Amino acid sequence: MEPPSTGGVTAAGNNTTHKFHPCDEAVIATNDDASDCKRCAVRLGYWKDDYIGYFVRNQERKAPEINRGYFARVKGVEMCVEKFLKKTSGNCQIINLGCGFDTLYFRLRDTAHQVKNFIELDFPTVTARKCYTIKRNKALLAKIHDEDGEVRLSPTDLHGPSYHLMGVDLRNLDEVDNKLQQAEVDYTLPTIFLAECVLVYIEAQNCRNLLKWIAQKFQAAVFVNYEQVNMNDRFGEVMLNNLRIRGCSLAGVESCLSLETQNQRFKECGWSGARAWDMVQVYESISSAERQRIERLEMLDEGELLLQLFQHYCLVVAWLGVAFQDLDITVEELMSSLNID
């Protein structure tokens, strides 16, 4: 995995060691599943993403309910990101926790939205694959470095002028702190944290430690969290059993029992406030024209399964300070400029 011989790219050392928990391998595999699903939905026209195809080659078609669910997931997170960017006029940071093969950075580069710093963290096994893909594709590298800036690479980490991808265990706060310093994080700058089905895989105490640490370190921040909810009913039990069969223990499931427990997790960890919506509410907040457009892409045999899926996932927005307490999912007439027009 030597860096390419193109100009502006240099290798950097990496001596970090990592201790894996028994379930880590299965959790890492969920990135492949999510990426495959996003790739399928993009190919069918649910939203535009010119970059996911670099990371995912799979052409397998997913069920219409899955595609529509991922559309709501991506759209919901992006509504929050866009409102945050407008509120800060780009004078901000984005920190993507458990980033997987997410392509938001590259899609943002194709818009008028710019940020001071974009940081992505995930298991080193995942970031190594993402680094390798970026390294091999000039179209991706070109988005990261400008004429004056170089890209520094190690097997698991990549550093550009305003983009940093790093391998780290989110349960190790000393390591997280060290990595953020390498990424030249500014703790005084408004920061939005993104996590899609990440906290639920972290043991409750480790998760609390992480959220408390962020609340203590950052002055003004928003946390957008997408994950399971209502996991104490029959449908939730089936979801849990399916994940256990694959070796995934939802270590943080106690916070996924209701929208209230989702909110409480943040409030108990020093965050100023939080609000949560299930994905039925998120989907209904998307403009009717956009919903009609994607509903014409595929027919559902019946809507009961989609409704159940939507009722068992949620979007949570937590905030530090008062500047972002009004950030919610209410969609404006103007459609998202990130990628779904």
Write out the binding residues for S-adenosyl-L-methionine.
73, 98, 169-170, 196
Nearest to 313 by CA among 239, 227, 250, 224: 227
Q: 121 — phi, psi (to 5°)? A: -130, 140
Contact 195, 203 (CB under 8 A): no
Q: Which residues are annotated as a binding site?
A: 73, 98, 169-170, 196
Contact 324, 292 (CB under 8 A): no
The residues, any chain, with a CB within 8 Å of residue 37's CB and separated by 6 or more, are 62, 66, 67, 70
d(CA 100, CA 35) in angstroms, rounded, equals: 8
Q: 248 — phi, psi (to 5°)? A: -95, 115
Contact 285, 330 (CB under 8 A): yes
Q: 115 — phi, psi (to 5°)? A: -125, 160
